[in-house]
Amino acid sequence: MEMANQQIGCIVGDCYYYAKGNKCQADNILVTTNSFSKNAQEADIGFEMASELSPQEAGASSKTSCLTYKPRNSSDVPVGGA
């Protein structure tokens, strides 16, 4: 399903993709379960690997994480977006 004019809210002010008005400017976003996220952050898994991963059941929004986050002042190349 393709969504036109998608807008993503973000209140993580120190994220590389954070924009004025609490918006996310990443071109791509990877959302996972919290349990997957704990291991994925150490392996630096990003959006470009999404097609190789198996879907997981979260059961509730409180059990999900966004792996697109990168610190605003990081020297790392951002994963999953602009």
Predicted confidence (pLDDT) per residue in 46-60, tens digit: 777 788 888 889 999
Is 39 part of a structural domain of the chain? yes
CB 16 within 8 A of CB 24: no
Structure tokens at 8: 């993503």
Count of alpha carbons within 13 Å of 26, Cβ hemisphere only? 28
Give the mean pLDDT of the chain: 81
Mean per-residue pLDDT, 1-10: 76
Is 52 part of a structural domain of the chain? yes
pLDDT in tens, 24-49: 999 988 888 988 887 776 667 777 77
**How many domains does the chain fold into?**
1
In this structure, of 15-19, 22-26, 50-54, 73-77, the range with the lowest mean pLDDT score is 73-77
Is 80 part of a structural domain of the chain? no
Is 81 part of a structural domain of the chain? no
Is 13 part of a structural domain of the chain? no
pTM assigned to the model: 0.68
Residue 21 scores a pLDDT above 70: yes
Residue 60 lies in domain = 27-66
